[in-house]
Chain A
Amino acid sequence: MTRRAVVAKTYKLYLGGAFARSESGRSDTATDHAGEHVANVPRGSRKDVRDAVKAARGGAGRWAAATAYNRGQVLYRLAEALESRSEELVRAAVAQQDVAAAAARAEVGAAVDTLVHYAGWTDKLAAVLGGINPVAAPYLSFSAPEATGVVAVLAPDAPDLLGLVREIAPALAAGNAVVAVVSRRWPLRPLDLGEIAGVSDVPAGVLNLLTGRLDELVEPLCGHRDVNAIVDATGRADLAATVDTLAADTVKRVLRPAAGDGIGDGALGRLEALTELKTAWHPIGA
Chain B
Amino acid sequence: MSRRLISVDRVGIEERAAALGRRSIKHEAKRLGIALATSMIDLTTLEGADTPGKVRHLAAKAVCPDPARPELPSCAAVCVYPALVGVAAEALRGSGVAVASVSTGFPAGQTSLEVKVEETREAVAAGADEIDMVISRDAYLSGDDARVAHEIERVKEACGPAHLKVILETAELPTYAHVRHASQLAIDAGADVIKTSTGKAATGATPGVVLVMLETVRDHAWRTGQLVGVKAAGGVSTTKAALHMLVLVKETLGDEWLTADRFRIGASSLLNDLLMQYAKLDSGHYGRPEDFSKE
Taking Cβ atoms with an 8 Å cutoff, the residues of A that contact B are: 49-50, 53, 57, 220, 223-226, 246, 249-250
Contacts and interface: CB of A to CB of B under 8 A. Distances in A.
Interface in B256-293: 284-289, 291
A246 B285 CA distance: 9
A50 B286 contact: yes
A148 to B, nearest CB: 14
Pick the most buried of B286, B287, B288, B289: most chain A CB atoms within 10 A of its CB. Answer: B286
Contacts of A49: 286
23 contacts: A49-B286, A50-B286, A53-B286, A57-B288, A220-B286, A223-B284, A223-B285, A223-B286, A224-B285, A224-B286, A224-B288, A225-B285, A225-B286, A225-B287, A225-B288, A225-B291, A226-B286, A226-B287, A226-B288, A226-B289, A246-B285, A249-B285, A250-B285
Given A225-B285, A249-B285, 10 more contacts: A57-B288, A220-B286, A223-B286, A224-B286, A224-B288, A225-B287, A225-B288, A226-B289, A246-B285, A250-B285
Interface residues of B, number: 7
Nearest to A54: B286
Contacts of A226: 286-289
B57 to A, nearest CB: 23
- What are the 4 tightest A-B residue pairs by CB atom distance, in nearest-first order? A226-B288, A223-B285, A224-B286, A225-B288
Interface centre among A50, A53, A224, A226 (most CB of B within 10 A): A226
Contacts of B284: 223
A49 B289 CA distance: 16
A285 to B, nearest CB: 35
B85 to A, nearest CB: 36
B41 to A, nearest CB: 23
Task: Among A53, A223, A224, A225, find the residue whose CB has the most chain B CB atoms closer than 10 A.
Answer: A225
Contacts of A224: 285-286, 288
A49 B284 CA distance: 14
A49 B285 CA distance: 12
A225 B292 CA distance: 12
A57 B286 CA distance: 13
A280 B244 CA distance: 48
A69 B184 CA distance: 61
Nearest to A150: B288
A50 B285 CA distance: 10
Contacts of A53: 286
A49 B287 CA distance: 12
A119 B249 CA distance: 54
Nearest to A249: B285
Contacts of A225: 285-288, 291
Contacts of A246: 285
Contacts of A57: 288
Contacts of A220: 286
B60 to A, nearest CB: 24
Nearest to A222: B285
A57 B284 CA distance: 20
